[in-house]
Amino acid sequence: MSLLCQAILALFFTLFYNSHGYFIPQGSVGIGYNGYFTLTNTTKHAYGQAFDSELYSIKNSSTGLLTSFSVNFFFAIVPEHNHQGSHGMAFVMSPTRDLPRASSDQYLGIFNETNNGNTSNHVIAIELDIHKDDEFGDIDDNHVGININGLRSVVSAPAGYYDDKDGNFRNLSLISRKVMRLSIVYSQPDQQLNVTLFPADISVPPKKPLLSLNRDLSPYLREKMYLGFTASTGSVGAIHYMMSWFVNGVVEYPRLEFSRIPILPRYPKKSSNRTKTVLAVCLTVSVIAAFAASWFGFVFYLRHKKVKEVLEEWEIQYGPHRFAYKELDNATKGFKEKQLLGKGGFGQVYKGTLPGSDAEIAVKRTSHDSRQGMSEFLAEISTIGRLRHPNLVRLLGYCRHKENLYLVYDFMPNGSLDKYLNRNENQERLTWEQRFKIIKDVATALVHLHQEWVQVIIHRDIKPANVLIDHDMNARLGDFGLAKLYDQGFDPETSKVAGTFGYIAPEFLRTGRATTSTDVYAFGLVMLEVVCGRRLIERRAAENEEYLVEWILELWENGKILEAAEESIRQERNRGQLELVLKLGVLCSHQAASIRPAMSAVMRILSGVSQLPDNLLDVVRAEKFKGWPETSMEEVLLDVNSLSTLELTDSFADHGR
Ligand SMILES: *[C@@H]1O[C@H](CO)[C@@H](O)[C@H](O)[C@H]1NC(C)=O
Ligand SMILES: *[C@@H]1O[C@H](CO)[C@@H](O)[C@H](O)[C@H]1NC(C)=O
Ligand SMILES: *[C@@H]1O[C@H](CO)[C@@H](O)[C@H](O)[C@H]1NC(C)=O
Ligand SMILES: *[C@@H]1O[C@H](CO)[C@@H](O)[C@H](O)[C@H]1NC(C)=O
Ligand SMILES: *[C@@H]1O[C@H](CO)[C@@H](O)[C@H](O)[C@H]1NC(C)=O
Ligand SMILES: *[C@@H]1O[C@H](CO)[C@@H](O)[C@H](O)[C@H]1NC(C)=O
């Protein structure tokens, strides 16, 4: 594949993902199972709206016409009753970020009785309707419709898809609890809007759409619009999940895969009055028992219970646990020096064992000098605490005590990657297979943080010391998102710029703004260190070898890039991979942010789905990058369709615990 395509692709994904900020929740929007957005909860006659924080420019300002676009999202609806829908959800394009005074029930949280159907709304919605409302001429209680300014659909069809295999129509039930994908594509040249619904396990949209509307949508929409989702409940409840979404400014049919499609929990059972009474009695009894137990000194018994609770699934779903200081103090034997695992810019890390269980934990102690910003801190912690991924270190909980904050993580027995990069004679060297796996693990974690989670999380402090190795030699990224907290003034001891010297991207120093691209920069350097088995800067090395990246570039120019790899792993059979990772590392850690690929592109290259272009050296060596060459949209399209295997890697692999 040509460099051009690769470059466009990288740039394209960067723009595409960075273009949206985060959701602003209104009404009953919350975060449910595994961090997915729930647009409604169990409250009846309620609605939720979640619009992107930023406006999208969707018109060409000189022609006043819409630009083509595509939106893909994954969703699922969990009904209260298996065979009866609530009201449904919709993808909405709106001139305002919230739709004030919208109504629940049949109005889907978009319109109300007065403004329904008014042409001054400037709203287009694609509804996933699970209730038959005769007043709006609904065809059934399980349909997809295109709505302009009101709830009476312009076109609609029963939920289902045309199978590419035989062209036959297959029914789908929107309330089946199954994850489905909706693909919305608008082509301005064709003045055509296509909507395709299909199960999430089909990774490429079926060729024949469910709905097709031939109309120029330009007159209905404003130049800049907010994109988002709404859902509502009526007298029957349903939880509407929005799992992840992708917006793009061109006609596109991306291949999107979940490596394991989640099975969503059932609708929470209402506890009847009788169970409530039983519960209340149990609670009272247990409170009394608890008092009695502590009086009689059965503290251990209690501790044991508590510790077990920490690891319960429900607790993990609803965010991290708040530990009592005493628990942590006991766990770390009073923060004894002997328990100290390490010290970093942000505090000390102690090893501990939760009393009453053999769960090993790592407790990070960090000081903060003010009460200010505490609520932001806690909000941040709860976001971070909900992240579950096999390549992220789990944050189990936190504690506040006096001037200190304590963060409790899973203990990683094999320490950090840092240790393995030491030129210490006694340190066992990692094999190439182990190293390559570590690199891929970290990349997977970053793809998750940057692109798969409901909001973009920038790590801000990627370095070998933050890459931890678990029992099975899997790498897990630690400390994610926290650098931001320190940025906000949580750590008086460190310098102003959060991050670690050497791993800070040049544009970050200039602008002070961390982006996904600054993470890619640091990741590129880590890749190089892993292959070369040395530090970024080594004073003892020969003069031309002192700065790792420069040295690699010099070797590359002389056609000897492999010599940069550490001797113990330099073998013929590793040759291809070594070269790939070295070059990719140089590309990622390039001074010009515009040259660095997005993490999804990095992942594709690492997993062999895409290849590095042949003339990469020319690009990397260019003194100053002058922007990607002009290309027509067709080329971009071609490229995306031929190779975008965006892997939504599994975020549920924590099951095995
Ligand atoms: C459910 O949403 C309503 C708003 O519609 C909100 O008041 C309520 O607190 C939410 N319930 C839960 C359990 O989050
Ligand atoms: C807007 O439309 C004009 C005329 O068709 C075209 O030349 C221009 O490139 C378009 N601008 C954008 C940003 O697409
Ligand atoms: C409906 O919403 C509009 C604003 O979108 C508001 O002006 C109007 O008063 C609302 N009507 C009702 C009945 O709430
Ligand atoms: C539509 O809404 C506008 C502004 O809210 C209002 O002035 C107008 O009367 C409405 N039209 C109808 C037919 O209700
Ligand atoms: C699909 O659903 C429609 C309407 O509910 C029904 O008439 C039809 O028989 C179903 N088709 C299949 C193949 O189940
Ligand atoms: C919409 O679907 C039709 C097939 O029914 C297809 O020919 C057309 O190209 C599609 N339009 C867009 C914009 O994808």
Residue range 279-297, pLDDT digits in tens: 454 445 454 444 444 433 3
* Strand partners of residue 343: 348
Which has the higher per-residue pLDDT, 462 or 425?
462
Tell me which of 184, 214, 248 is where a domain ends. 248
CA distances from 167 to 161, 256, 377 (A): 9, 21, 53
Residue 651 has pLDDT above 70, yes or no: no
- Name the percent of the chain lying above pLDDT 90: 37
Could you tell me whether strands 645-648 and 255-258 are parallel, antiparallel, or unpaired per DSSP bridges? parallel
What's the distance, CA 554 to chain centroid? 37
Tell me which of 229, 248, 267 is where a domain ends. 248
CATH number at residue 397: 3.30.200.20
Which has the higher per-residue pLDDT, 318 or 9?
318
Read off the pLDDT of residues 210-260 as tens digits, 9 standing for 90 and up: 999 999 999 999 999 999 999 999 999 999 998 877 777 788 887 777 656
- Answer for the pair 390, 338: CB distance below 8 angstroms, yes or no: no
CA distances from 538 to 36, 423, 484, 544, 568 (A): 44, 11, 29, 10, 19
If one residue of 114, 115, 121, 149 were mutated to test the ligand 4 pocket, choosing by the most ligand atoms within 8 A of its CB, it would be 115
Rounded Cα distance between 27 and 249, Å, is 29
Residue whose C-alpha is closest to residue 113's, from 141, 155, 144, 151: 151
Rounded Cα distance between 135 and 520, Å, is 53
Please say if 201 is a catalytic residue: no
Return phi, psi of residue 98, to 5°.
-125, 160
In this structure, the answer to whether residues 434 and 575 fall within a common structural domain is yes
CA of 610 to the centre of ligand 6 (A): 28
Tell me which of 208, 231, 248 is where a domain ends. 248
In this structure, the answer to whether residues 512 and 376 fall within a common structural domain is no
Read off the pLDDT of residues 318-338 as tens digits, 9 standing for 90 and up: 456 778 888 889 889 888 888
Rounded Cα distance between 497 and 504, Å, is 9
Residue whose C-alpha is closest to residue 121's, from 134, 110, 108: 110
Residue 166 has what pLDDT? 94
Rounded Cα distance between 644 and 640, Å, is 5
Q: What is the mean pLDDT of the chain?
A: 77
Residue 422 lies in a domain: yes
Residue 273 lies in a domain: no
Residue 477 has what pLDDT? 92
In this structure, the answer to whether residues 402 and 458 fall within a common structural domain is no
Residue 192 has what pLDDT? 96
Residue 289 lies in a domain: no
pLDDT band, very low/low/confident/very high, at 511 (cuts 50, 70, 90): low
In this structure, the answer to whether residues 423 and 396 fall within a common structural domain is no
Residue 324 has what pLDDT? 84
Task: Evaluate: CB of 114 within 6 angstroms of ligand 2.
Answer: no
Region of poorest pLDDT, from 36-50, 125-139, 198-212? 36-50
Residue 227 lies in a domain: yes
In this structure, the answer to whether residues 423 and 401 fall within a common structural domain is no
CATH number at residue 605: 1.10.510.10
Q: What does the pLDDT average to over 16-44?
A: 70
In this structure, the answer to whether residues 400 and 536 fall within a common structural domain is no
Residue 542 lies in a domain: yes
Which has the higher per-residue pLDDT, 411 or 284?
411
DSSP, res 384:
H
Rounded Cα distance between 137 and 148, Å, is 14
Residue 260 lies in a domain: no
Return phi, psi of residue 337, to 5°.
-55, -35
Full-model pTM: 0.53
Q: What atom in ligand 3 is closest to the CA of residue 99?
A: 5
Structure-token pair, residue 231:
């859902």
Read off the pLDDT of residues 578-605 as tens digits, 9 standing for 90 and up: 999 999 999 999 988 888 999 988 998 9
CA of 62 to the centre of ligand 2 (A): 7
Residue 372 has what pLDDT? 44
CA distances from 323 to 151, 196, 307 (A): 49, 47, 10
pLDDT band, very low/low/confident/very high, at 542 (cuts 50, 70, 90): confident
Residue 287 lies in a domain: no
Residue ranges making up the domain that contains 344:
304-410
Which has the higher per-residue pLDDT, 25 or 310?
25
Residue 421 has pLDDT above 90, yes or no: no
Residue 169 has pLDDT above 90, yes or no: yes
CA of 193 to the centre of ligand 6 (A): 8
Please give the tally of structural domains in the chain. 3
pLDDT band, very low/low/confident/very high, at 476 (cuts 50, 70, 90): very high
pLDDT band, very low/low/confident/very high, at 1 (cuts 50, 70, 90): very low
Which has the higher per-residue pLDDT, 87 or 243?
87
Which has the higher per-residue pLDDT, 39 or 482?
39
Structure-token pair, residue 653:
């692999």
In this structure, the answer to whether residues 399 and 451 fall within a common structural domain is no
Task: Evaluate: CB of 632 within 6 angstroms of ligand 2.
Answer: no
Residue 503 has what pLDDT? 81
In this structure, the answer to whether residues 441 and 371 fall within a common structural domain is no
In this structure, the answer to whether residues 385 and 472 fall within a common structural domain is no
Give the residue ranges of the annotated binding site.
364
* Strand partners of residue 57: 224
Residue 205 has pLDDT above 60, yes or no: yes
Q: What angle is formed at CA 489 by the lines to CA 393 and CA 382, rounded to 5 degrees? A: 40
Residue 643 has pLDDT above 90, yes or no: no
Residue 379 has what pLDDT? 60
In this structure, the answer to whether residues 26 and 102 fall within a common structural domain is yes
Give the residue ranges of the annotated binding site for ATP.
364
In this structure, the answer to whether residues 366 and 227 fall within a common structural domain is no
Residue 149 has what pLDDT? 95
Name, in order, each residue with C-beta under 8 angstroms of 519's C-beta and a sequence gap of 6 or more.
446, 449, 450, 458, 459, 460, 462, 599
Q: What does the pLDDT average to over 624-635?
A: 33
Q: Which helix or strand (DSSP H or E) is residue 214 part of?
A: strand 211-214
In this structure, the answer to whether residues 423 and 403 fall within a common structural domain is no
Residue 40 lies in a domain: yes
If one residue of 132, 144, 171, 175 were mutated to test the ligand 5 pocket, choosing by the most ligand atoms within 8 A of its CB, it would be 171
Residue 259 has what pLDDT? 56
Residue 457 has what pLDDT? 81
Number of neighbours of residue 210 by Cβ within 10 angstroms: 24
Region of poorest pLDDT, from 59-68, 87-96, 169-178? 59-68
Residue 20 has what pLDDT? 41
Q: What does the pLDDT average to over 89-116?
A: 92
- Answer for the pair 232, 104: CB distance below 8 angstroms, yes or no: yes
Among the listed residues 105, 461, 479, 650, the single catalytic one is 461
For 388-408, the DSSP string reads --TTB--EEEEEEETTEEEEE
pLDDT band, very low/low/confident/very high, at 344 (cuts 50, 70, 90): low
Residue 98 has pLDDT above 50, yes or no: yes
Structure-token match 């999804």, residue found: 600
